[in-house]
Amino acid sequence: MNRSNIFKLVLAVTLLAVAAYMVIRFLRQGDGVSEQTFFYDLSEKKLFAASREALPPIRGLNDAEEDAVRAVVVTLGDNPKAKASRKIAYLEKYAPEYKQQLEKVRAGQTDPLPRNARNAFRFVCRVDAIEWYPVSSPEGEKILTEWNVPGLDGKFPVVCAP
């Protein structure tokens, strides 16, 4: 074998190894969608992870009371996995009648409400002042958007998943 053929063989094996590495890396990556989301137990004042399919409020950490609500958690840093830079942007829960309606939709027993009607049954609040507002209200709209502003470095907060 001459040098030219040896070089071609080494190059082909190297390229094949790089391609195999990239395929394996691609296959191991998730789709970026977490099966869990954050919930906040109002009585315990603690975050925990639960299924993103759960309809808030759900059973909390310490008892059978449904006092855990969905928490939208954001980070101001570059690493969304760094717990120290996380903060709760807002909390969310559903009215009992809306929660029942969503369960019927999931079971295929009824059609979903129109989007504009849903917002009257979704409530949000800040974690430091537990006063619930409908998403469709001016205060509710403010709570939903006030956290999404750039920091001093010009970067926007990033929503975190557990």
Please write the tens of the pLDDT for every residue from 89-148: 999 999 999 999 999 998 999 998 888 788 889 999 999 988 999 999 999 999 999 999
| Of 159, 162, 160, 95, nearest in space to 124 by CA | 95
Residue 74, CA distances (Å) to 62, 81, 161 in order? 25, 10, 9
> Which residue would you say has higher pLDDT here, 78 or 23?
23
The per-residue pLDDT for range 47-99, each reduced to its tens digit, is: 999 999 999 999 999 878 899 999 999 987 766 677 778 899 999 999 999 99
Q: SS3 of 33, please?
A: coil
The confidence score (pLDDT) of residue 28 equals 67
The confidence score (pLDDT) of residue 46 equals 93
Residue type for position 46: K
The confidence score (pLDDT) of residue 92 equals 97
pLDDT reading at 30 higher than 70 = no
The confidence score (pLDDT) of residue 126 equals 96
Domain ranges of the chain: 1-30, 36-159
pLDDT reading at 31 higher than 60 = no
Residues in the chain: 162
